[in-house]
Amino acid sequence: MQNIRRENISIILWLFSGCFLIFTMVIVGGVTRLTGSGLSMVDWKLFMGAIPPLNHQEWIDAFEQYKQYPEFKERNFMFSLSDFKNIFFWEYIHRLLGRFIGLVFIIPYLYFLIRKRFTKKLIFQTTILLFMGATQGFLGWWMVKSGLVNNPDVSHIRLATHLTTAFLTFSYTFWIALSLVFPKKEFSNITLYKISFILIFLVLIQIIYGAFVAGLDAGKIYNTWPKMHGDWIAESVYAMTPFWDNFINGLAGVQFIHRTFAYLVFGFIVFLFVKSKKFNLNKIERIGVNTLLITVFIQMVLGVITLVLGVPVWLGVIHQLGAFILLASTVFCLFIFKETR
């Protein structure tokens, strides 16, 4: 870290600020999803949508708009205006934060670009970041729109796409920041890098299935552990035809994959930890491996408790944050073990 270039400090702070805001966005998004607030704003206005209803009549108009869609007609038909305001709050904060993140990314980007603070590599990397952020906004509305047509639920596949893109945007932002924090990294380990490379794909698959579980409310069935109501593999896991559909659209099948894949991720990280003992790692590398092991252990425990308790909102959000920290730890290990060229 002593090799950080002075002119890059402000860029590093900007990138880490982006990481923190994306982290916050995931928290608010998790609360929005778990409180059933995601379909309360039924239109998408890039600029005017930043202004909430400001008086009683505007609230009435927004509520009447909401009443035209499936969620109110089929699920929340007993809602009062006060109930509507409660769910509107979280979705509004979620969208407002998204706009704020966009400004935090694009304004400094233009400033650094105009002042010629970016290298050619950084211009390329940060431009990709802007594209990923814009794509994330589009995917958010694409997801919400799926719950405004026939069913009062968003598509779990679109939810997974939206969430995974947020995780990937964070990961890439974090990676760029790390490359500036360690501009002349002299340490690497090809064996542990290969293991970390495989691990990051396993973690991403687990995150995708976590989104499937959230989107289908699959965490509210089979709330026992380690077995599924007395069976290691419940019959409903493979009840649908075609067979593969169980693991894409089936509640039991999706939950089975998520809870089983957790063992694979945990085992792979333990393998990385044991393998790392064979090498003389420096302090930074050792911190990375130890953090990864501690994080996955806590995440496993959180997952079990969240399942057994039927996914209370606060635990669901903490479990999602655990996934975020686990991915960040994996990205860090991937970076520090990568050979510098």
**CB–CB of 309/223 below 8 Å?**
yes
Name the amino acid, one letter, at 201: F
Neighbours of 25 (CB within 10 A): 21
Contacts of 59 (CB under 8 A, 6+ apart): 53, 81, 84, 85
Which two structure tokens, joined as six digits, stand for 228?
A: 């599924």
Q: Please tell me the predicted confidence (pLDDT) of residue 105.
A: 92
Look up residue 55 and give its DSSP letter: S
Neighbours of 326 (CB within 10 A): 23
Which two structure tokens, joined as six digits, stand for 252?
A: 């039991």
242 prior amide bond cis, ω within 30 = yes
* Residue tagged 């380990």 (tokens): 189
Which two structure tokens, joined as six digits, stand for 326?
A: 């686990």
Distance CA 106, CA 133 (A): 10
Contacts of 251 (CB under 8 A, 6+ apart): 216, 217, 218, 221, 236
Q: Please tell me the predicted confidence (pLDDT) of residue 47.
A: 59
Residue 228, classified by CB atoms within 10 Å of its CB into exposed (0-12), middle (13-18) or buried (19+), is buried
Question: Residues 219-231: pLDDT tens digits?
Answer: 999 999 999 998 9
Q: Please tell me the predicted confidence (pLDDT) of residue 255.
A: 96
Name the amino acid, one letter, at 145: K
Distance CA 155, CA 307 (A): 22
Distance CA 319, CA 94 (A): 19
Domain regions of the chain by residue span:
1-184, 186-341
C-alpha pair distances (Å), 158 with each of 146, 155, 164, 222, 246: 8, 5, 10, 24, 18
**CB–CB of 172/128 below 8 Å?**
yes
Q: Output the furthest CA–CA distance in the chain (Å, rounded).
A: 69
Question: Residues 119-150: pLDDT tens digits?
Answer: 999 999 999 999 998 898 888 888 888 888 87
Q: Please tell me the predicted confidence (pLDDT) of residue 152.
A: 79
Q: Please tell me the predicted confidence (pLDDT) of residue 49.
A: 59
Distance CA 225, CA 328 (A): 27
Contacts of 231 (CB under 8 A, 6+ apart): none
Neighbours of 18 (CB within 10 A): 23
Which helix (H) or strand (E) element contains residue 173?
A: helix 156-181
Q: Please tell me the predicted confidence (pLDDT) of residue 3.
A: 63
pLDDT in tens, the chain (341 residues): 456 677 789 999 999 999 999 999 989 988 888 888 888 887 777 655 567 888 899 899 989 988 988 888 888 889 999 999 998 988 889 888 988 999 999 999 999 999 999 999 999 999 999 999 889 888 888 888 888 887 778 899 999 999 999 999 999 999 999 999 988 777 788 999 999 999 999 999 999 999 999 989 999 999 999 999 989 999 999 999 999 999 999 999 999 999 999 999 999 999 999 999 999 999 999 999 999 999 999 999 999 999 999 999 889 999 999 999 999 999 999 999 998 76
pTM score, two decimals?
Answer: 0.91
Q: Please tell me the predicted confidence (pLDDT) of residue 211.
A: 93
DSSP 306-336: HHHTT--HHHHHHHHHHHHHHHHHHHHHHHH
